[in-house]
Chain A
Amino acid sequence: GDSVTQMEGPVTLSEEAFLTINCTYTATGYPSLFWYVQYPGEGLQLLLKATKADDKGSNKGFEATYRKETTSFHLEKGSVQVSDSAVYFCALSDLANAGKSTFGDGTTLTVKP
């Protein structure tokens, strides 16, 4: 079945540091890939997406590139802010699996001033 593996957290960074959160996946078909963010006490928000190989999703300074050869979708940001502190989930949707979404376990990011 489909699966998503995220780097283990939590991750603690100083403000303006570079962020990478690793994500790899296995899927039956050709999935779409997503990063969602969840702030404390809230639901998930779509951060960015990529629907085919070599697509780059970007939003609010975050980027991730769909790498089919390495089955990866790593999240990066060049300079994090305190307001980026949240839980980040990598996810895929696979039409070969009835369009169901599979989520990674989540990575908690804390950014200190």
Chain B
Amino acid sequence: DTEVTQTPKHLVMGMTNKKSLKCEQHMGHRAMYWYKQKAKKPPELMFVYSYEKLSINESVPSRFSPECPNSSLLNLHLHALQPEDSALYLCASSHRTGYEQYFGPGTRLTVT
């Protein structure tokens, strides 16, 4: 199984809502990532987990809160987002940090 799954596929939320994005992989990878991608731009790294511990936080606003409950799951909790946070949110995993990454299909988030 070389698949990274993400749910939901699409999400529309108001600025006062709380929602969560979910990501799952069963490849035994010990590094997992969250990226934000705006249209016609490369992915921007948000967070990296290595062996279920947060290893990189790219100065992301606190309205984004990551969580890694176990080695297969990665969540991104969203609260009080702004319209400029609307984007495609991509999850990825890799054997270890520095190795090739396997991406999920993404969650298309719209903040109204």
Contact between B43 and A49 (Cβ–Cβ < 8 Å)? no
Contact between A44 and B56 (Cβ–Cβ < 8 Å)? no
Contact of A103 among B43, B100, B105 (CB under 8 A): B43
In order of increasing CB-CB distance, the 7 nearest A-B pairs are A99-B97, A99-B98, A43-B103, A103-B42, A44-B103, A93-B98, A95-B98
Using a Cβ–Cβ cut-off of 8 Å, how many residues does chain B contribute to the interface with A? 25
Q: How far is the CB of A8 from chain B (nearest CB, A)?
A: 13
Measured as residues with beta carbon below 8 angstroms from the partner, the interface class of chain A is 20 to 34
- A25 within 8 Å of B (CB atoms): no
CA distance A36 to B35 in the complex (A): 15
Q: How far is the CB of B47 from chain A (nearest CB, A)?
A: 11
Contact between A100 and B100 (Cβ–Cβ < 8 Å)? no
List, in ascending order, chain B residues with CB within 8 A of A103's CB.
Answer: 42-43
- B31 within 8 Å of A (CB atoms): yes
Contact between A46 and B43 (Cβ–Cβ < 8 Å)? no
- B72 within 8 Å of A (CB atoms): no
